[in-house]
Structure 1
Amino acid sequence: MILVFGGTTEGKKVAGILEKVACPYYYSTKTSIDFQAGPYGRYRHGALTAAQLQTFCKEHAIKAIIHASHPFATQLHATIHEGAQALSLPVLRFERRYQDRQKHPLVKYCAAYTEALAWLEQYPVKRLLALTGVQTIAPLTDYWKKHDTIFRILPRESSLALAEQAGFPKEKLIQEMPGDDLEQELAIIRQYNISCILTKESGESGFLATKIQAALQSSIPILIIERPTLPDTFILVSDEASLMAGLNRVLP
C-alpha cells in the first residue's frame, strides 16, 4: 500500500500511473475534492500532523509515500519528512517541471514574501494583481489593507469562504481557474488596470511562463516567490519511468 499526497495535476498523474500498474494506494488531500479513485485507489481528506501521519501509515501498512502536492505546501513538506523519518519510510517527491529562471529587468525573483513586500514598499505600484492563492490573503493583510490589490482565487466555495474569513473585499476578487491563455491574462491586466503582478514559482502546472509573458507584454513588473527547498531525503522523480524506477528501488 502506498500513500499519495495529491490535490494537484501531478497527484492525478501519480494516481493514474498506480492504477495502470495495479498498485494499491491511498490518495490524500487537505480539503475534500472531487477525486474519483479507480479500482486500486482509496480516497481520504483532512490535514495530518506528523503523529497522525505515523498512525495512519501503521494502521494501513503503508510501505512508501509519494508526495505530489503543491510545491509551496511547506507545512506538508515538514510533516511528511518528520513522519516518514520516524518510520523509516521512503518518500518519492513527484516534481512538476520548472522552466529556467528568466533574466529581465521586469522579472524579479524573491526568496520570501518579506522580500517582495520590501520591494513593493521601495517601488510602490498603483494596483497589484496577486496570483499567490487564497491561502496568502491573510498573511498579506498588512499590504492589501494599505494598497490597492486584486486577488485571483479558485472558483470554489471553500476559497471564497477563506477570503471572506480574512476580511478581503469580495469586489476585489477574481474567481477563476488559472490557465495558459495569454490573451485572458492580458485582458485581466487591462480590465483591472494592473501595474504589477505577484505570483509564485509554480512551474509548468502553474502556468508561470504565461504569467511572465503577460507581464512583459504589458510592460509591468512581475515578482515571483521562489519555491521552497525540499528535504534532501526526498527522492525526486518527474515522470512515469522515474517514478516506477524509484518505487522498484525502495520497495522490497
Structure 2
Amino acid sequence: MLILGGTSEARELAAALVARGVRTVSSLAGRVSSPRLPAGSVRIGGFGGPAGLAAWLAAQRPRAVIDATHPFAAQISAHAVAACRAQRVPLLRIERPTWRPGPGDDWHYVPDVAAAAQLVPRLAERVFLAIGRQQLEAFAAVAECFFLIRCVERPTCPLPPRHELVLDRGPFTRAGELALIDRHRIGALVTKESGGAQTEAKLLAARTRRLPVVVVRRPPRPPAETVATVAEAVAWLEQTLA
C-alpha cells in the first residue's frame, strides 16, 4: 500500500495497516528536516511529477494508493490522480472536513495568502500568522503590522520587518493558544483552511477573544473517491483488498 503522507491522518493510517499485517510505504515530501515518521517503510522526496509516480507504481505495483496529504498539497494530489489513472491503481483520498465558523465568529475568507496579506492591515495592528513557512514571503512587505509567526522550522524566505518567530509543532491546546494571544496582544489571526483537531485550538482561542480570523481557502484538487476519516479509509481498503 502506498500512502502519500506527512499528516496525522497518514501516520494513523500507517499504524492501523501495519498492525493488520499490511505492507505499507509512506511517502513524505521532505520539506521538514525532522518529520514524525510513520510505521512501516518510508520514502522521502518527490517522485518527479505524475510520470515519475506512474513509473514508481508500475515498478512497485501497490494494491492501492491513499492520498492522505495536507489539504493544501494540491500538486501531489493532482499527480496521484493522473498516475493512478494511467496505471489503473485504486486511489482513495482522505479529505479532512473543513472548519466551520460558529456563533460570534468573525471570519474573513480569502482565496490565497496574497489576498490575506492585503486584508490584515485593515483588521488589526498585531497579527498571529499561523500558515506554516512556505508562503510567508507574501507578508514581507506588510510594514503596518506586527506579526507573530509560528511554524515548525525556521523560514528561509524574507519576513515582515516587524515580527517575532515561534518554532513549535502541534497539537496545541486552547489554553496555550489563549496564553500566546494574550502575551503578544494579538488582534487578528491568519490561518489556512486546513481542518482537523490538531490545530483547531487557535480558532477556539480567537473565538474566546473575539478576534477577526482571516481564512485562506483550500486550493482545488481534482476529483477522486474521498472519505473523511482514517476508519473509513481502513474499511475501504479492507473491501478493496478483499
Taking structure 2 as the reference length, the TM-score comes to: 0.85
For 2:166, the equivalent position in structure 1 comes to 174
For the pair 1:238 / 2:234, whether they are aligned, the reply is no
For 1:17, the equivalent position in structure 2 comes to 16
- State percent identity of aligned pairs: 24
- Partner amino acid, structure 1, of 2:107: V
For 2:217, the equivalent position in structure 1 comes to 226
Aligned with 1:245: secondary structure? helix
Aligned with 2:189: secondary structure? strand
Q: How many residues align?
A: 237
| Equivalent-residue separation in structure 2 for 1:88 and 1:243 (angstroms) | 19
CA distance 1:140–1:89, change in 2 (3 Å): farther
Question: Could you tell me how far 1:96 is from its partner in structure 2?
Answer: 3.2
Taking structure 1 as the reference length, the TM-score comes to: 0.82
CA distance 1:142–1:234, change in 2 (3 Å): farther
Contact kept, 8 Å, 2:3 with 2:65, in 1: the verdict is: yes
Contact kept, 8 Å, 1:30 with 1:47, in 2: the verdict is: yes
Question: Could you tell me how far 1:54 is from its partner in structure 2?
Answer: 1.2
| Equivalent-residue separation in structure 1 for 2:16 and 2:93 (angstroms) | 14
Contact kept, 8 Å, 2:104 with 2:210, in 1: the verdict is: no
CA distance 1:34–1:185, change in 2 (3 Å): closer
Contact kept, 8 Å, 2:147 with 2:163, in 1: the verdict is: no
Q: Per-residue displacement from partner, 1:150-192 (whole Å, max 9, x unpaired)?
A: 21011xxxx21xx1x2133796101112334222111111221
Please list, as runs of the form range in 1=range in 2, the aligned pairs for 1:86-125 lying within 5 A after superposition. 86-102=86-102, 104=104, 106-121=106-121, 123-125=122-124
Question: Could you tell me how far 1:219 is from its partner in structure 2?
Answer: 2.6
| Equivalent-residue separation in structure 2 for 1:170 and 1:24 (angstroms) | 49
Q: Higher helix share goes to which structure?
A: 1
- Name whichever of 210-219 and 15-24 sits farther off: 210-219
| Equivalent-residue separation in structure 2 for 1:141 and 1:86 (angstroms) | 41
For 1:30, the equivalent position in structure 2 comes to 29
For 1:83, the equivalent position in structure 2 comes to 83
Contact kept, 8 Å, 1:3 with 1:28, in 2: the verdict is: yes
Q: Which runs of 5+ in 1 are unaligned?
A: none
Question: Could you tell me how far 1:231 is from its partner in structure 2?
Answer: 2.2
Contact kept, 8 Å, 2:146 with 2:162, in 1: the verdict is: no
Pairwise CA RMSD: 2.5
- Partner amino acid, structure 2, of 1:61: R
Question: Could you tell me how far 1:117 is from its partner in structure 2?
Answer: 3.3
Question: Could you tell me how far 1:248 is from its partner in structure 2?
Answer: 4.0
- Name whichever of 194-203 and 86-95 sits farther off: 86-95
Question: Could you tell me how far 1:7 is from its partner in structure 2?
Answer: 1.5
- Name whichever of 67-76 and 102-111 sits farther off: 102-111
CA distance 1:10–1:36, change in 2 (3 Å): closer
